[in-house]
Structure 1
Amino acid sequence: MPDTLWTIVVAAVTAVVTTTATGVLVAPRLDARKKRLGDVHAARDLFGTHMLRIMSACSQLENLQLPPDNDPRCTPVLRERLSGERDRWWQQIDEATQWLIDNIASYAGSWLTRHLIEMPIAYAANARMVVLSEREEAAKLALLLELTVPVQRQYFGWPWARARHALVDRRTFAATIARITGEVTY
C-alpha cells in the first residue's frame, strides 16, 4: 500500500511541476509567437487589400471620364459631383500607396525566398513614385495597373493562376519597372 501511495504522490507532484513549468516557460513564448504570426498574416491581408483598392480605383478612373465642357447632358452640378468622385478615387490610390510604402517592413519580409521579398518592395516603391510623378493621368493609371496586376496575381491569386502566369508576370513586372525607371519624369 505505501508503494502505491508513493507512486500516486510522485505522479501528482510531477504533473503539477510539469504543468507549472509549461505555463511559466513555454506558454508565454507560444502566445508571443502566435501574436507575431497573426500580425504578419494581417499585414499580408492589408497588402492584398490595398492592391485591390488600387486596381479598383484605377479601373473606375479609366472608365469614368469627365464629359466635355460643352456636353449639354452634363450640368455643372453633375460635373462637380463626377469630379469629386474622381478626386476621391485618386485619394484612395494615394492613401493605398502611402500604406504600402510605410508598412513595407511588416509584410515584405514575411515571405521565405529572396524573390518573394524583393517583388513587394519594388512594387511599393515604384507604385508610390508613379502616384507622385508628374505623368499624365492616363499614363499613371496604366502603369499602376501594369504594376499591380502581376503582383496581386502572384501573391493572392489562385494557385493554378500563380503557376500558369509566374514567368509572364515576372517579365511584365520587370518590363514595367524598367519603363518607369527609364523615364526621366518623376
Structure 2
Amino acid sequence: MNIAWTLLVAAATSVVTTLAVGVLVAPRMEARKKRIGEVHTARDTFGSHMLRIISTCHQLQAIQPPADDDPNWTPVLRERLAGERARWWHQIDDSTRWMIDNVVTYAGSWPVRRLIKLPITYAGHARMVVLSEREENTKLELLLQLTVPIQRQYFGWPWSRVRHLVADHRAFEATVARLDGEDSAP
C-alpha cells in the first residue's frame, strides 16, 4: 500500500506539473521566443538597409550622368541611366522610410541607453537628408557620413568597432551637429 501511494502521488505530481508548465509556462516562453526573433530580424533588416544605403550612395557617386555634349551617349542610353539612378534613389528612400518606421523595434532592443539613442538619431537624420532639397551630391555625402560610422559600430567586425569607436562617434556627432545647424539656419 505504501509503494502504491508513493507511485500515485508521484504520478499525480508529474501530471499536475506537466499541465502547469504546458498551460502557464510554455505559452509565455513561445511568446518570448517570437518577440526575440522579431527583434533580431528587425536588427538584421536595419543592418541590411544601412548596407544598401552605403552601396547605393557609392554607385550614385561613381556613375554620374554624362555631360550633355558627350557624343558617346545616345538619348536612349541617357534615359536608361537616368531611370537606373532614379531606381537607386528609390532604394535609398525605401531604406530610410523602413528605418524610421521601424526604429522602435530595433533601437529599443539594445541594452544600453547610448546604443538605443544612436539608431534613433541616425534614422531620423538619414530620412530628413533624403527628404531635403539639398543637391544630390551633398545628400550622398551626408548619407555616407551618417551611415558608415553607425553601420560599422553596430554590424562591423569586433576589432573594427573597437579600432574606430572614438572616431566613428566623433564623425557621426559632427555630421549630426552640421545637419542640426543647417536645419536651424533661416
Which TM bucket (shorter chain)?
over 0.9
Task: Tell me the equivalent position of 1:88.
Answer: 87
Q: Does 1:77 align with 2:83?
A: no
1:26 partner letter: V
1:81 Cα deviation from its structure 2 partner? 0.6
Task: Tell me the equivalent position of 1:13.
Answer: 12
Task: Tell me the equivalent position of 1:118.
Answer: 117
TM-score, scaled relative to structure 2: 0.96
Q: Deviations over 1:48-81 (max 9, x none)?
A: 1111111111010001001111111111111111
Distance 2:12 2:89 in 1: 66
Task: Tell me the equivalent position of 1:51.
Answer: 50
Gaps of 5+ in 2: none
Q: Deviations over 1:97-132 (max 9, x none)?
A: 111111111111111111101100110010011111
1:125 partner letter: G
Equivalenced residue count is 185
Gaps of 5+ in 1: none
Task: Tell me the equivalent position of 2:182.
Answer: 183
**Runs of at least 4 residues off by over 4 Å:** none
Distance 1:161 1:11 in 2: 57
Q: Could you say what secondary structure the match of 2:108 adopts? A: helix
- Percent of aligned pairs with the same amino acid: 65
Distance 2:113 2:166 in 1: 16
Distance 1:147 1:180 in 2: 10
1:4 Cα deviation from its structure 2 partner? 1.6
1:137 Cα deviation from its structure 2 partner? 0.7
Q: Could you say what secondary structure the match of 1:134 adopts? A: coil
1:29 Cα deviation from its structure 2 partner? 0.7
Task: Tell me the equivalent position of 2:60.
Answer: 61
Distance 1:148 1:29 in 2: 37
Q: Could you say what secondary structure the match of 1:73 adopts? A: coil
Task: Tell me the equivalent position of 2:24.
Answer: 25
Task: Tell me the equivalent position of 1:128.
Answer: 127
CA RMSD of aligned residues (A): 1.2
Q: Does 1:103 align with 2:102?
A: yes
Distance 1:11 1:102 in 2: 53
TM-score, scaled relative to structure 1: 0.96
Distance 2:30 2:114 in 1: 30
1:91 Cα deviation from its structure 2 partner? 0.3
